[in-house]
Amino acid sequence: MPAGDQLTSPTGVDWPAQSGPAAFRTTHWSVVLDAQGESPEAQEALEKLCRVYWPPIYGFVRREGVRPDEAKDLTQGFFALILERKDFQSVRQEKGRLRSFLLASLKHFMANERRDAAAIKRGGGQTLIPLDGIASDDSDEFYRSDMLSADLLYDRRWAFTVLDRVFARLREESQRSANPPLLERLNTLLSDEPERPSQAEIGREFGMTENAVKQASHRLRQRYRQLLREEVEHTVATPAEIEEELRDLIAALRS
């Protein structure tokens, strides 16, 4: 369906067309498998991969007691080393989840290969991955979670990064809708903020009945769940693993 096709609700909000329970896409490993070789396409694919897994991997390295600057070097070197060795083909053959594969590889790397990977990062003929806009700093959340193990912190940061990507996509779709301010307000209903507006308040603000706001919010939540599944789907090998990853994501957020 063309990108511009949309479903219009009675409230005047244009909603992106949604697919039904479609078959598991054959391109779910494309980001991983394209991250091999030295072509521009491979470099772009690796950058996409890094933007999802850079924060959790950096968090794991920091939890292991590594200083911030060295942790950034090691995280960058870790991805550079994986790209050079083309290890992603083996994870596809093993039908493993990318998140689990990367964590196991990271532990091996931290134990045995830090010096080699750091050398690749600092030169070694590799083009460094541009990481502008990736939150690699040690935020307050990092210090508040000092009771978490490195493994749990890795999962927690992964979960929040996935959610950030979903909300970014929702914001982009809101801007393309017929009523961007309304969708922006509805997006706040998806958060856990204690001061989020009620559906009745949003209705009064936009001249809508509370029932109309309820229907619009329901459609937004459906879209949210669809986008969340799509983000997770890119990193697993089978449909069953989507559900497993979603359960793990929820567990990580509750940790």
Angle separating helix axes 98-112 and 114-121, nearest 10 degrees: 100
Contacts of 133 (CB under 8 A, 6+ apart): 51
User: Is residue 11 scored above 50 in pLDDT?
Assistant: no
What is the predicted pLDDT for the residue at 255? 73
Among the residues of the chain, which ranges form H helices? 30-33, 40-63, 68-85, 88-93, 98-112, 114-121, 140-144, 150-175, 180-187, 199-206, 210-233, 239-254
> What pTM did the predictor assign?
0.74
Give 35's DSSP letter.
S
- Domain boundaries, position 158: 27-254
| Domain annotation covers residue 16 | no
Q: In this structure, is residue 12 part of a structural domain?
A: no
- The Cα 243–Cα 224 span in angstroms is 15
Structure tokens at 226: 């669809």
Rounded CA separation 220/226 (Å): 10
Within a domain: 22: no
Q: Quick check: 225 pLDDT over 90?
A: yes
In a domain, 7, yes or no: no
Sequence-ordered list of residues with C-beta below 8 angstroms from that of 137, at least 6 positions apart, any chain = 68
20 band by pLDDT with thresholds 50, 70 and 90 = very low
Q: Which residue has the higher pLDDT, 201 or 6?
A: 201
What is the percent of the chain with per-residue pLDDT over 90, rounded to a whole number? 24
The pLDDT assigned to 27 comes to 39
Q: Considering the domain boundaries, does residue 31 fall inside one?
A: yes
Consecutive H or E run containing 19: none
For the chain, the average pLDDT equals: 74
Mean pLDDT of 215-231: 92
pLDDT tens column, 39-97: 676 666 667 777 788 889 999 999 888 888 888 888 888 887 776 766 565 555 545 67
pLDDT value of position 79: 81
| Structure confidence by residue, pLDDT tens digits, 120-138 | 555 454 545 555 555 555 6
Q: Is residue 21 part of a domain?
A: no
**How many domains would you assign to the chain?**
1
Residue 233 is assigned to a structural domain of this protein: yes
Confirm whether 76 is domain-assigned. yes
Helix (H/G/I), strand (E/B), else coil: 6? strand
Asked if residue 143 has pLDDT above 80, the reply is no
Hey, how many other C-beta atoms are within 10 angstroms of the C-beta on 21? 4
Residue 253 pLDDT exceeds 60: yes
